[in-house]
Structure 1
């Protein structure tokens, strides 16, 4: 299967878990009605993007109303769903974790955000995820009927080494649920997704929450799909929206033959080592 119909659910996230799950449910059902094969939710889709809310909304993997709902939707509708991310609680730790469900509703991959968002842009935005979150330590590449999919979360996209490792492990699609803010988003969001796509000659996808002006953290939105040539083939605005777009994985082989970056790497001189 080389052609995949993607659904990017740029949903409005509010301070009410039940309402967020209900909205995710609705957008997934709409995606299914449009014959989507692979549905993607945003980073922290069930939770406002705020450290205090991460603590309040945290769920254990084996007792998660959010994940149970997504699992049932994947199984009932026979569709892959990448559940953006949620605050995952394990013992006394919290992680920012993404879950990929197959058509039977099983979790076939989980990615804990590896690079925590600790920034201080003077006079504009300050955030420190590490105050409450623990960093993941595993590279995540999932096997699907479409081929291999690499999963990162938001800030992970700023680290090209991670994308390259995922591609060297066979990933054809790189997916980053993310919630860039209005400062970093306007400057870097599209640029980073285009860069990772060009660097690795792979499809690169970002799915963000919509801008909620009533929230303490303002998401940039602009969910995006970039092809292996670095061309933006779909992008939302900051408003709540559903992107439905078909991609053809045959583009990867064509572009890698025309411009053989992967083949021309100097493996005799340098390499990325995964410890």
Structure 2
């Protein structure tokens, strides 16, 4: 990479059931900030940002396949601005609607679908709405090797360990994290960075979708677990930071060598 890649996170209130408005919101934020940050390489919207997030919403009525109309609209935005976009959506496996997943799509700067990840660790309430995924997502891109999680996945170090074992250096976690659990959101994200000496970015909603009120504070953590950049509480924002892999390499060679040593231990202890 000739330039240090930059990540941007969209923190906003995404409306329930209004896909057109939510797609326009993603396009608006990127159009406004792409010129300000010329090395912006990837933009992340929150969990279920295409649909809006609620625990009492019927997603079966609007779920779509991984390359459905929502994908086509956001793929066009990615191609227009020549960057990666990751966004959340309710996914149906096929036309039967038998299985509905809480998923994210990663789209390339050419508008191609790079991967679709289905949330593995659903909350108790989400299990009434969605089926659990079963496949991890680690993809090699021009931005780095990306490991994808969704929200509550962050609370499970077993998932991040598997991503790290597959050489992920940037964890992306579109989220829908509600009040009053601000502290846990940050603790989990920081811990995953510190555990594996990686960058972790977690985007969040704001506003209220009954019965939840989201607090924002989208955050990016450095490989040493320190806070790199954070959005305000419960207010729209575009949260940006550089993903400097030279700093990651520095951390690994100066004290923060746990990930390398852990992976070596796992290989030799079999």
After TM superposition, the score normalised by the length of structure 2 is 0.90
Residue 155 (1) aligns with residue 179 (2) = no
Aligned to 1:192: 188
Aligned to 1:70: 74
Structure 1 counterpart SS, 2:241: strand
Aligned to 1:87: 90
Could you tell me whether the CA contact under 8 Å between 1:180 and 1:189 is conserved in 2? yes
Residue 56 (structure 1) shift: 3.0
Aligned to 2:57: 52
**What is the root-mean-square deviation of aligned Cα atoms in Å?**
1.7
- Partners of 1:268 and 1:79 in 2: CA distance: 36
1:105-144 correspondence to structure 2 within 5 Å: 105-118=111-124, 128-144=125-141
Could you tell me whether the CA contact under 8 Å between 1:48 and 1:215 is conserved in 2? no
- Partners of 1:214 and 1:87 in 2: CA distance: 16
> Closer, same or farther in 2 for the Cα pair 1:257/1:44, shift >3 Å?
same
Aligned to 1:13: 14
Structure 1 counterpart SS, 2:180: helix
Runs of 4+ in 1 over 6 A off after TM superposition: none
Aligned to 2:102: 96
- Partners of 1:269 and 1:45 in 2: CA distance: 42
Could you tell me whether the CA contact under 8 Å between 1:177 and 1:206 is conserved in 2? yes
Aligned to 1:123: none
Deviations 1:194-236 (Å, cap 9, x if unpaired)? 10000000000101112x1364321121100000011101111
Aligned to 2:249: 253
How many matched pairs? 258
- Partners of 1:213 and 1:65 in 2: CA distance: 26
After TM superposition, the score normalised by the length of structure 1 is 0.88
Aligned to 1:22: 24
Deviations 1:87-133 (Å, cap 9, x if unpaired)? 01123111011111111100111110001111xxxxxxxxx111120
- Partners of 2:192 and 2:260 in 1: CA distance: 17
Could you tell me whether the CA contact under 8 Å between 2:41 and 2:143 is conserved in 1? no
- Partners of 1:263 and 1:52 in 2: CA distance: 43
**Structure 1 unpaired stretches of 5+:** 119-127
Could you tell me whether the CA contact under 8 Å between 1:31 and 1:244 is conserved in 2? no
Structure 2 counterpart SS, 1:164: helix
**Structure 2 unpaired stretches of 5+:** none
